[in-house]
Amino acid sequence: MILAMLYCLKNKIRFVLYSKDANFGYKDGWNDFFESFCESTTCFIHHRFNVRWFTTRTGQNQWRPKGTFMQIFTKFIKLFIPPSRYFTQDLWHNFVNRNMLEQEYDIPELGIKGNFLHACIRLVELTWRYNASTKAEIEKIMKRCPLPDKYVSCHIRRGDKITEWDYIPLEKYIAYIEQYKISDIYILTDDYTVYETLQEEKPEWNIYTLCNKSDRGYEHSNFGRNNAEEKRKRILALFASIEIMNKSALFVGTKTANPSVFMSIYNPKISKGIDCDGNLFVEAIKSL
């Protein structure tokens, strides 16, 4: 979404958000968790015809798009909901594109003047604003995991991520964190065995997590089958983890997982990459 917004601002295209049936929502999409920040629509046509590109990885840095018929057919559909000039799939390969890195952005009304990273950080500041009920729920969840003033946080992804990238060995995280001489560690993970293994490997560490004992790796297809209340609970726990990581002295993540990539534009000053030296968000775009 941040990439789409930035592309639209750069090219003077009106950005309108449709999120009513977002897979993370339970009633109103974006506004289930966040405050509004732009014009939105609930037109039912977007549910069926406004889609992201469906892609299949065919090799390193090569992607084969699917959905050409859908792209053509929506030109006809858009006649019924003017003034929709573009749907997401019309511009997808323009904004999910490493060429975005090479541009400068000057949008004074939003306080943006600088490079790609500066612009994206600013857009996160303007959009990532929890509504009152979300804030209250996050604070309640965070109290279940009391941490000292100074700690390291990290994100260790497992589950279906293996279908896209190899898992990063836990030993690599351990070696990276050890150099900072901090023994209080918070872990965002989708697999409780990660927590158990780290406890065995580093008994001198105080390790914290909100991961449930029953979690054995995130599977997106399984998440989609949860009822609305279960989805909401899991999303709120994720947001609580993000806020816990945001308060840490150091965050360690990877350019191949979305929570890690997001942290590098949510709090870039503390974010480090286990698999790259630069900003994780920028490095992820470079790998497209």
Mean pLDDT of the chain: 86
Range name among 50-64, 132-146, 153-167, 173-187 with the lowest pLDDT average: 50-64
The whole model's pTM is what? 0.87
Round the CA-based radius of gyration of the chain to a whole number and report it.
20
Q: Over range 59-88, report the average pLDDT.
A: 63
130-163 pLDDT, tens digit each = 999 999 999 999 999 999 999 999 999 876 554 4
Cα 219-98-280 angle, rounded to 5 deg: 55
Higher-pLDDT residue of 51 and 67 is 51
Tell me the fold of 132-286. Rossmann fold (3.40.50)
Tokens of 214: 């029953």
How does strand 62-66 pair with strand 54-59? antiparallel
Is the preceding peptide bond at 83 cis, omega within 30 degrees of 0?
yes
- Residue 226 predicted with pLDDT over 80: no
Distance CA 189, CA 223 (A): 15
CB count within 10 Å of CB 184 equals 17
Where are the domains positioned within the chain? 2-127, 132-286
Cβ distance 169 to 156 under 8 Å?
Answer: no
Cα 219-260-92 angle, rounded to 5 deg: 75
Burial state string for 196-233 with b = 16 or more CB within 10 A and e = fewer than 16: eebeeebeebebbbbbeeebebbeeeebeeeeeeebbe
Distance CA 29, CA 33 (A): 8
